[in-house]
């Protein structure tokens, strides 16, 4: 049982601190995922709150057929799709040691690379951003990503291949050296 399912079970058993810990551990990743879908910070925040509200009030059953993270992200995905459909939007398919100058320079270069990577990802379609985010930043398996995005595993494999190729193309056009990451 991963932490999320343990927190959720505690909450269902009457321990409200379980929900607090669940939100604490998952809100940032969920926010970034929803930002990739909505491309709007305030809307992503609203949908994230709606996701946790659904869990707190409706108390849906977590069957354990998938990881807790996959289950949670599926609820968030559905909340985003519901919101976008309802509002007639298109539904889109460590700290660094800086003791010396060298470490400071490396840290700065890594941060610049991360910024460039996020800028390049923002130029991709929402569906490409979602699959890349879930696969690489949230480290979900293809099967888990397929579950969240309501696609087959094979569709995710194809989508991931095309998304990586598209990202590589955008990065190359901008002169980004993606091999060094």
How many angstroms separate the CA atoms of 7 and 144, rounded?
20
Question: Which among 36, 72, 37 has a CA at the least distance from the CA of 54?
Answer: 72
118 and 81 share one domain:
no
pLDDT (tens digit per residue) in 13-58: 998 898 999 999 999 889 888 888 888 888 989 999 999 999 999 9
CATH of the domain at 144: 1.10.10.10
Which residue range forms the structural domain that includes residue 153?
101-180
pLDDT (tens digit per residue) in 132-171: 888 888 888 999 999 999 999 999 999 999 999 998 888 8
CATH of the domain at 31: 1.10.1740.10
Among the three residues 58, 86, 114, which one is the final residue of a domain in this structure? 86
Whether residue 93 is contained in a domain is answered as no
């Amino acid at each position: 049982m991963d932490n999320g399912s343990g927190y959720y079970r505690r909450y269902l058993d009457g321990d409200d601190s379980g929900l607090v810990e669940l939100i604490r551990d998952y809100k940032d990743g969920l926010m970034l995922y929803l930002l990739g879908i909505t491309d709007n910070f305030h809307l992503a925040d609203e949908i994230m709150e709606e996701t946790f509200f659904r869990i707190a009030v409706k108390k849906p059953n977590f069957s354990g057929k998938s990881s807790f993270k996959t289950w949670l992200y599926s609820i968030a995905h559905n909340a985003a799709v519901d919101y976008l459909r309802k509002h007639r939007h298109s539904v889109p398919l460590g700290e660094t040691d800086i003791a010396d100058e060298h470490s400071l320079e490396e840290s700065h270069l890594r941060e610049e690379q991360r910024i460039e990577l996020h800028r390049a990802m923002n130029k991709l379609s929402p569906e490409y951003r979602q699959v890349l985010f879930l696969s690489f930043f949230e480290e979900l398996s293809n099967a888990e990503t397929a579950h969240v995005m309501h696609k087959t595993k094979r569709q995710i494999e194809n989508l991931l291949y095309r998304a990586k190729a598209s990202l590589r193309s955008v990065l190359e056009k901008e002169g980004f050296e993606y091999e060094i990451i």
